A and B are shown apart, each in its own frame.
Chain A
């Protein structure tokens, strides 16, 4: 559906709200992109057009910034985004087994989205909670001390 993002939000409205909140200046670009990415789930071309117009910043610059940062995406993402910590402390604490369990449960690989659009699986750099590794983040919820057997029950909480 053109113009609509996650949960039917209108892209132009989301962009306008973000720009109003932070101010139409280039040094607010990353906060604005973060918010739009968060609200819509990714940064559609339409959103970049709109930001470009409001901030008077060339679209090429927006694209160069959006493609640089790991947390910004120009491709659609699933309804829920899993970020799995791939750092050494989680890795040695059994992270690899949990990673395999997540991949098997969703039947997708890293950087992929399930065909039904429900899940996107990403890796993240260290979340700094190594004492409770392995760690993964689903949307805004952080899960520590995850064991492979807990994966289904954690994922089933999300609809």
Chain B
């Protein structure tokens, strides 16, 4: 087997060839021979490195350095610098990596990985991999060097807040639970990550399950618990499987069970699966579900730290919160608190979704602005359209318009702006999004997921949905906005749990920031974003249509008629607004009015 230490890709696209790519390649190879490197470096022809404007160009792997604007005369210097001396020849390096169609969502300079540090790096089904990355060292440190009170103090000083949504200081929660005298106590991990589009917990559970286990053992030691539960949603079967394997490995190595690391401390862990109910992400509903009941929330107080699972003191945090703990213990509270803003410390994972170029998971320190997240980390809006709104916090969050783009993202600022941090979902919406339709979409979700225990949420969300559906269908009434505002206020005031209280948020925030769109739907029977099907018409423009018949042949309902080479016509009464005609038209002759 022949190994090359370096691979060089030469772009041989027509444009680069015209500029002399082959001459550069020949000179490069001659120089490799001259400097005795030909056996170590492999030269390959390729296409589309990305910067044909600045050709000829080379891409050098493994470093991934992109050299542009090269001439054959540059080769002796380049080969000597890069391949002999191992220094990157800065003067030829492309100014910006111009990956045209291969856009990336890998870590950018603004990301810092604490929770996700091992994800995709280690084999989650092999505990050795985790141990090699300092795994269980924090546990060892805590059990041999710290009292439970010292652990709580470290977590308090780190400033870590619960990553599940409410943002309650984790150290405080532990302190309360430690103070409860009753035993046994329970440690619970909320892995019932239900917000649509948010999957950071799945990634941690599937990619680095031991970090969560280690965090939970440390929490148990701090509050004085010997039994823990991970409650994971049934929609994540692979996460459950990975977690179970990890728990078994930890147990067989003695990191779970009796007398952990010879300290005399006992702790064991069980995985419980949900059965498909969004509300079980609410902590009291979750505990009801573990007990074998309907997952319905109950009023607080008493708080779980006093009366939780099986009416015993319980500490409940989410996956991301626990996964932070080992790093905080190992690297110190000061290190963690050095990241983030004044009141929100450390990093947070977000799921970027919607109309942004790079979708996927990111982990950033608190304090970046929404603009930095959307444009620098997310690469901007797809197809370079205009930004319209960002929806934060999942179905109970709110939509923030352009005016909030320079808002630094932390718990306090997001709450002040009228939305919530939630578990970290960020849905980016472009100019083609109808905000009334978005409000309707989220209301449909919460209405469906309402557990039905309390009336404001059960009935109120239903009424709101009905009004929104009517508005989207072009049948809005003049007093609808007022009724919506009244209903939202009532539900927010009177619901039992966070799901109910937060459920009007999408409506409240869109009413506040995009009231004109509601008014256009209600009073002008017009959908400005051209989304609501009852309010739009597909029309064929006379003069542009060539009568090619493509649209008529593709229309699934036969709504388009017309002779060959004559302008075609869409019958609005038959048309179902599926948009296929617009997609297949080769002449852009179909518009939405």
Direct contact of A and B (CB under 8 A): yes
- B297 near A: Cβ within 8 Å? no
Complex contact A125–B235 (CB within 8 A): yes
- B408 near A: Cβ within 8 Å? no
Most chain B Cβ neighbours within 10 Å, of A26, A57, A124, A127:
A127
Contact digits for B341-361, partner A, Cβ 8 Å, 1 yes 0 no: 000000000010110000110
Please, how many angstroms separate the alpha-carbon atoms of A68 and B234 in the complex?
A: 14
Please, how many angstroms separate the alpha-carbon atoms of A30 and B353 in the complex?
A: 33
Complex contact A29–B441 (CB within 8 A): no
Shortest Cβ gap from B522 to chain A (Å): 24
Shortest Cβ gap from B102 to chain A (Å): 16
Complex contact A72–B275 (CB within 8 A): yes
- A128 near B: Cβ within 8 Å? yes
Complex contact A34–B354 (CB within 8 A): no
Please, how many angstroms separate the alpha-carbon atoms of A57 and B586 in the complex?
A: 66
Please, how many angstroms separate the alpha-carbon atoms of A72 and B295 in the complex?
A: 13
Q: Given A65-B293, A92-B354, A128-B199, answer yes or no on A34-B273 (Cβ-Cβ < 8 Å).
A: yes
Contact digits for B416-450, partner A, Cβ 8 Å, 1 yes 0 no: 00000000000100000000000001000000010
- A17 near B: Cβ within 8 Å? no
Most chain A Cβ neighbours within 10 Å, of B274, B275, B353, B354:
B275
Complex contact B237–A30 (CB within 8 A): no
Complex contact B235–A127 (CB within 8 A): yes
Q: Given A124-B235, A130-B351, answer yes or no on A30-B272 (Cβ-Cβ < 8 Å).
A: yes
The listed residue (A33, A68, A92, A128) touching B193 by CB distance below 8 A is A128
- A154 near B: Cβ within 8 Å? no
Question: Which residues of chain B are within 8 angstroms of A127 by Cβ–Cβ distance?
Answer: 235-236
What is the chain B residue whose CB lies nearest that of A71? B276
Complex contact A69–B197 (CB within 8 A): no
Contact digits for A27-45, partner B, Cβ 8 Å, 1 yes 0 no: 1111101100000000000
- A74 near B: Cβ within 8 Å? no
- B61 near A: Cβ within 8 Å? no
- A153 near B: Cβ within 8 Å? no
Complex contact B276–A88 (CB within 8 A): no
The listed residue (B235, B272, B292) touching A26 by CB distance below 8 A is B292
Question: Which residues of chain A are within 8 angstroms of B262 by Cβ–Cβ distance?
Answer: none
Which residues 80-131 of A sit at the B interface, judged by CB distance below 8 A? 87-89, 92, 124-131
Please, how many angstroms separate the alpha-carbon atoms of A140 and B360 in the complex?
A: 24
Shortest Cβ gap from B390 to chain A (Å): 13
The listed residue (A30, A92, A126) touching B275 by CB distance below 8 A is A30
Please, how many angstroms separate the alpha-carbon atoms of A64 and B289 in the complex?
A: 12
Please, how many angstroms separate the alpha-carbon atoms of A33 and B292 in the complex?
A: 10
Complex contact A34–B275 (CB within 8 A): yes
- B485 near A: Cβ within 8 Å? no
Complex contact A27–B235 (CB within 8 A): no
The listed residue (A65, A125, A131) touching B276 by CB distance below 8 A is A125
Complex contact B291–A88 (CB within 8 A): no
- B278 near A: Cβ within 8 Å? yes
Main secondary structure of the interface of B (DSSP, over half): loop
The listed residue (A29, A72, A88, A130) touching B292 by CB distance below 8 A is A29
Contact digits for A120-159, partner B, Cβ 8 Å, 1 yes 0 no: 0000111111110000000010000000000000000000
Please, how many angstroms separate the alpha-carbon atoms of A89 and B441 in the complex?
A: 12
Complex contact B292–A71 (CB within 8 A): no
Most chain B Cβ neighbours within 10 Å, of A31, A33, A70, A128:
A128
Question: Which residues of chain A are within 8 angstroms of B441 by Cβ–Cβ distance?
Answer: 88
Q: Given A31-B272, A128-B193, answer yes or no on A69-B295 (Cβ-Cβ < 8 Å).
A: yes
Please, how many angstroms separate the alpha-carbon atoms of A139 and B291 in the complex?
A: 27
Please, how many angstroms separate the alpha-carbon atoms of A68 and B293 in the complex?
A: 9
Most chain A Cβ neighbours within 10 Å, of B198, B292, B294, B449:
B292
Q: Given A68-B277, A124-B235, A126-B197, answer yes or no on A27-B291 (Cβ-Cβ < 8 Å).
A: yes
Complex contact A128–B275 (CB within 8 A): no
Please, how many angstroms separate the alpha-carbon atoms of A72 and B292 in the complex?
A: 13
Contact digits for A1-38, partner B, Cβ 8 Å, 1 yes 0 no: 00000000000000000000000011111110110000
Complex contact B194–A69 (CB within 8 A): no
- B457 near A: Cβ within 8 Å? no
Contact digits for B442-467, partner A, Cβ 8 Å, 1 yes 0 no: 00000001010000000000000000
Which residues 296-353 of B sit at the A interface, judged by CB distance below 8 A? 296, 310, 351, 353
Shortest Cβ gap from B315 to chain A (Å): 18
Question: Which residues of chain A are within 8 angstroms of B290 by Cβ–Cβ distance?
Answer: 27, 30
Question: Which residues of chain B are within 8 angstroms of A124 by Cβ–Cβ distance?
Answer: 235, 276
Complex contact B235–A28 (CB within 8 A): no
- B196 near A: Cβ within 8 Å? yes
- B519 near A: Cβ within 8 Å? no
Question: Which residues of chain B are within 8 angstroms of A89 by Cβ–Cβ distance?
Answer: 196-197, 353-354, 359, 427
Complex contact B276–A126 (CB within 8 A): no
- B388 near A: Cβ within 8 Å? no
Complex contact A131–B195 (CB within 8 A): no
Complex contact A28–B292 (CB within 8 A): yes
What 15 additional pairs, Cβ within 8 angstroms, besides A70-B275, A128-B193? Answer: A25-B292, A27-B292, A30-B272, A30-B273, A34-B234, A34-B275, A64-B294, A65-B293, A69-B277, A70-B277, A89-B196, A125-B196, A128-B235, A130-B199, A130-B351
6 closest cross-chain pairs (CB), A and B: A70-B276, A29-B292, A128-B199, A87-B196, A69-B275, A71-B276
**6 interchain pairs, CB-CB under 8 A:** A27-B290, A69-B275, A88-B441, A92-B354, A125-B276, A127-B236
